[in-house]
Amino acid sequence: MPGNKGVVYEGPGTVEVHAIDYPEFELKDGPGVNPANVGRKVPHGAIVKVIATNICGSDQHMVRGRTTAPQGLVLGHEITGEVAEVGPDVEFVKVGDMVSVPFNISCGRCRNCKEGKTGICENVNPDRPGSAYGYVDMGGWVGGQAEYVLVPYADWNLLKFPDRDQAMEKILDLAMLADIFPTGFHGCVTAGVGPGSTVYIAGAGPVGLAAAASAFLLGAAVVIVGDLNQERLAQAHGFGCETADVSQGEPREHIERVLGVPEVDCAVDAVGFEARGHGREAGTEHPAAVLNTIMDVTRAGGAAGIPGLYVTSDPGAKDEAARQGSLSIRIGLGWAKSLTFATGQCPVMRYNRRLMMAILHDRVRIADAVNATPIPLDQAPRGYAEFDRGAARKYVLDPHGMLAAAA
C-alpha cells in the first residue's frame, strides 16, 4: 500500500503538509467526520491517485478562520486524477481511467440527484443536504489536496476523459472542471447570460475569471469585472473583459462609462460573504455589499447568479447578525425590480462533460483565463499564503510531479 500525504488545516492562518492515512473503502473517524458517517462502507467507491488538486477561495475562508472548520481537517475539493483502485460494487470505472471528480459528492439515487440537483444530495451528509470533500460541515469526507483520495459512488461521480494523452496535454484546463469552471459557468447560466448580453461580474478571483470566460463562451457582448485588486483586474482585461476598480467608486458608475447606461442584463456574485465596500469603504468588510450591488445594477426583470459562498456561521464576522449568516440585503429593491436569484453549490455534473468537450476541442482556454499555476504539494502553505494576499493565480498542487512532467 502506498503512503499518503495531505494538506491539513492547523488553525487560523496555518496549513501544513502531513502524512495521512491511505484511503480505505470505509469512512474512519477524524476531524470533521460526522459521527453518523463513521464506519460507513464504500464498496461503490474508487481510490484516485491525484494528478492535480487546486487551492480554492472556499478553502481560504476556512483557513482564515471564518468557519467552524476543526483543526486537523484535510483540505481540498478540486480533484483530477487517475483511478488506482475500485471497490467491489464498481461496474464501469476501471483502474487507469483518467477522471475529473466533481466537488459535490452525490449518490445518484436520491430525489435531488435524480432531478440534477447534485449539490444538495440527501444521502451523503447526515447534517443537511449537500456534501463536498475536505469541507466543514459537509459530512467529513477526506479532502483531496493529497496524493490519494477516496471517491464514493464512483460510477456516478467520476467523469472519464476519453484519451489519456490528450488529457495530459490539456491537464491544467481539465483540472478546472472539478469546481471553478462549472461554478463560473453556472453563475452565468443562472443569470441568463446569452448571445449579446451585457454582464457584470463581481470579483476577479478564480471563480470570477472563470465566470467571465464562461460569459464569453455563452456569447456575451460585454463583460465587466469588478474588483479591488489591480493584478486580478489586469488578468481579466487580458482576455477581453472591461474592468471596474471598485475602490474608486460604485460599480454603477463604471458600468455607465462602458455601456452608456448604469445597468446590465445579467450579474454574477463571485465574491461571497467576505465582501468589502466600494470607494471610501473599500478597506472595510461589508458582507452584503455585493448582493446589494448586483440588485442595483441588474436591469428590471433580469437575473443574478450567486455562486459566491455564503455561510450559516461566520465566527469572524463583525456583528452578531453576520456571525449567524444574517445580512442586511435590500430585498425590497430586488423584489421591486422583479429580479431572479440563484444561489447554492453549483451542480457540477450538469455542466462538466460539455465543458470538457469545449476544452478538448479548443473552444476555451480556461487555464489561461484563471492563470493556473502548478506548484508541488509540499509548497501548499506558500500557495495558500500568496493566494490570500491576492495573487492573480489559480494554484494547482502537483502531488506526484505529473504536471511538471507534462509541461
pLDDT digits (tens, 9 = 90+) for 27-57: 999 999 989 999 999 999 999 999 999 999 9
Query: For 249, left (φ over 0), alpha (ψ -120 to 50), or beta?
Result: left
**pLDDT at residue 91, rounded to an integer:** 98
What are the angstrom distances between the C-alpha of 362 and each of 50, 188, 365, 371, 373?
24, 20, 7, 17, 20
pTM: 0.96
Contact 244, 224 (CB under 8 A): yes
DSSP collapsed to 3 states, 37-52: HCCCECCCCEEEEEEE
Average of per-residue pLDDT values in the chain: 95
Q: For residue range 92-115, list pLDDT tens digits in order.
A: 999 999 999 999 999 999 999 999
Distance (Å, rounded) from C-alpha 101 to C-alpha 142? 13
**pLDDT at residue 341, rounded to an integer:** 95
Which grid coordinates are listed for 82?
Answer: 487517475
> In the predicted model, is pLDDT for residue 324 greater than 90?
no
The residue-averaged pLDDT of 168-182 equals: 98
Helices (H), 261-328: 289-297, 320-323
